[in-house]
Every structure is written in C-alpha cells, then in structure tokens.
C-alpha cells in the first residue's frame, strides 16, 4: 500500500505535523500504520479523501465523517463518478491515470471503471451524467485498444454484442475485447444482428477458436441464427456466453465465461491452453436447448 511520512502528509493537508497527530489521537483518522522502525506511514487514499472532505466542510470532525462514509481515495470509483457528475472529462482522465500508476489496465477497468459506470447507471435523474460516462468510457477503452500490443497467440476470439450503443453492458463487452487483446488473442467484436452471410465472412476471416455471446439485448431467435451460421460455416469454434447474455430462463448448454472481466479472461486462456477451469466446460460447439418457460 502506498504511504507517506508525517511531514509530507501534513503538508498535503495544509496543517502542521502536530495537528495531524492530534487528529489521530482524537478521531483515529487518518490512521497511519507503523514501519519496522516505528515511523508513521499515512495511506494516500485516506489523506486524499480527507483533503477533499475538508475543502467541502471546512470542519475537521465533519470532514472525517464524510471521508469515512465515502471510503474513497484518489483512484476510487466514487471519484470517477464525481467526475461524471461534474461533466469533467479531465478529472476522469486524471483518475484513470492515477489508477494506472498503481494498478494494471485490467484491474483499473475491473475495479474502477466498470463499478463507477454501474453506480452512474443505477441512480435516478442522472441520465445526462450516465450518457457522458458511457461516451467517455467508450473513448477511453478505444484508446487503450489502439495502444494494445500485437497478438501473440494464433487463436482468435469472436465477440457478438447485443447491447444498446450507450449502455454499461456495451462497456463490459468492450472491456472484454480489450482484456482478450492484451492477453494476446486475435479479437473481433461485431454486432449480434449481422446477416448470415456477413457472419460467415467474419468466421472465415478470423477462424476463431471461441465465439462469445455478449450484451443484454439478445433474443433467442437471434442467438439461434448465430448458432446456425456457425454450423453452416463448419467452424470448429466453441460458443460461450458472458454476463448471462443468453436469453433463456431455464438451463441451456452454452457454457459461461462468468460475469467479471478477470474471470472471463482467465477462463478463456485456460481453455485455449488445454486446462479445465471449474467454471467452464470444454466442449465442442454448444447447441441451444429448448427454451424454458
């Protein structure tokens, strides 16, 4: 965990070291850990949360209460949501850059970007902020995709997305595309509603080992046409679904890659490398079962 000594922490908060130590004794916050030599080491996340709360409240007891309730630091989902609420893309960019200094791209997406978008989606009366969040996140992911290194694996993965254009589920799919590219796969992301002949062309071009049904807008009919196209092309790819994308209320025979980015990427790598993860069966092309009522 990143941390700084007492003098630097006090300077960050604009107070004296004695004041900072008195807050620790009186409120127990910010609470430093001790090094092997007995020196205080303050957590940067707590300091940043307190600094921002002080700017808002101008009162230390109120600021500490606010900082504790938020539980946020400089690279938290809460700060990214705040950037969306201010319609401030500069702060959003800076938050992601700060996260990338201490996290991988994959962890930044999984632990910061996606939770922030889900929070923005779930609030009422913030439609404009949510739209800005989705548009900004799409641009950020595209920039990361352009910066991704060339494929190091010969295997291809074809993602079919049924999400609306501006929706957090579409961002989940784009995040999966980025993670698989960074894992070395050749990846192609297409719309679920493509005509049969175009699907066939994509299959011939990529020759994928796996096809993943993604998004929240798929219908059983569309998925059925996709499976039909795969069979007609005699493609050896296995079909999977991601984040419960299958529009089936009962059991079906299409295995899942899970619901989280790291889980899906690890499962795909394990399958291609010949290992058998607990959460995904190694099978040939799955067949849709009858839809349960």
What are the pLDDT digits (tens) for 207-256? Answer: 999 999 998 888 888 888 888 888 887 777 888 999 988 887 666 678 89
What is the reported pLDDT for 282? 42
264/179 Cα distance (integer angstroms): 9
Q: What is the mean pLDDT of residues 287-292?
A: 30
Question: Is the bond into 110 cis (omega within 30 degrees of 0)?
Answer: no
What are the pLDDT digits (tens) for 170-210? Answer: 999 999 999 999 999 999 999 988 888 888 899 989 999 99
199/203 Cα distance (integer angstroms): 6
Rg (CA), the chain: 23
Q: Are 30 and 54 in contact (CB under 8 A)?
A: no
Q: What is the mean pLDDT of residues 152-175?
A: 92
Give the pLDDT band of residue 60 (cuts 50, 70, 90).
Answer: very high
Task: Quote the CATH superfamily of domain 151-272.
Answer: Response regulator (3.40.50.2300)
What are the pLDDT digits (tens) for 111-154? Answer: 899 999 999 999 889 999 999 999 999 999 999 999 999 999 99
What is the reported pLDDT for 72? 54
Instruction: Show me where the domains of the chain are located.
Output: 3-70, 77-145, 151-272
Average of per-residue pLDDT values in the chain: 85
Q: Which three-class secondary structure state does DSSP give residue 210?
A: strand
Q: What is the mean pLDDT of residues 252-275?
A: 88
Q: Output the pTM of the full model.
A: 0.70
Q: What is the mean pLDDT of residues 4-14?
A: 91
9/112 Cα distance (integer angstroms): 25
CATH class of 3-70: mainly alpha
Q: Is the dihedral of CA 107, 80, 164, 202 positive or negative?
A: negative
Q: Which residues contact 24 (CB under 8 A, 6 or more apart)?
A: 30, 31, 32
Give the pLDDT band of residue 266 (cuts 50, 70, 90).
Answer: very high
Q: Which three-class secondary structure state does DSSP give residue 178?
A: helix
What is the reported pLDDT for 280? 42
191/254 Cα distance (integer angstroms): 19
137/240 Cα distance (integer angstroms): 25
What is the reported pLDDT for 235? 75
């Amino acid at each position: 965990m990143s941390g700084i000594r007492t003098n630097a922490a006090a300077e960050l908060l604009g107070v004296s070291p004695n004041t900072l130590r008195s807050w620790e004794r009186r409120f127990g916050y910010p609470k430093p850990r001790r090094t092997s030599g007995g020196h205080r080491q303050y957590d940067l996340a707590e300091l940043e949360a307190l600094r921002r709360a002080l700017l808002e409240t101008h009162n230390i007891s109120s600021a500490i209460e606010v900082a504790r309730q938020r539980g946020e630091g400089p690279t938290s989902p809460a700060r990214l949501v705040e950037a969306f609420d201010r319609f401030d893309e500069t702060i959003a960019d800076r938050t992601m850059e700060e996260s990338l200094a201490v996290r991988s791209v994959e962890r930044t997406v999984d632990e910061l970007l996606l939770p922030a978008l889900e929070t923005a989606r779930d609030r009422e009366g913030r439609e404009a902020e949510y739209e800005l969040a989705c548009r900004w996140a799409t641009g950020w992911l595209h920039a990361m995709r352009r910066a991704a290194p060339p494929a190091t694996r010969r295997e291809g993965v074809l993602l079919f997305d049924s999400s609306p254009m501006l929706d957090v589920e579409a961002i989940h799919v784009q995040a999966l595309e980025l993670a698989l590219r960074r894992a070395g796969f050749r990846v192609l992301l297409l719309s679920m509603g493509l005509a049969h002949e175009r699907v066939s062309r994509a299959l011939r071009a990529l020759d994928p080992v796996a096809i993943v049904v993604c998004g929240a807008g798929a219908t059983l009919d569309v998925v059925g046409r996709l499976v039909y196209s795969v069979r007609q092309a005699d493609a050896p790819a296995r079909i999977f679904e991601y984040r419960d994308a299958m529009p089936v209320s009962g059991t079906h025979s299409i295995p899942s890659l899970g619901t989280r980015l790291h889980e899906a990427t690890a499962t795909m790598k394990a399958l291609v490398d010949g290992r058998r993860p607990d959460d995904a069966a190694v099978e040939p092309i799955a067949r849709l079962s009858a839809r349960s009522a």
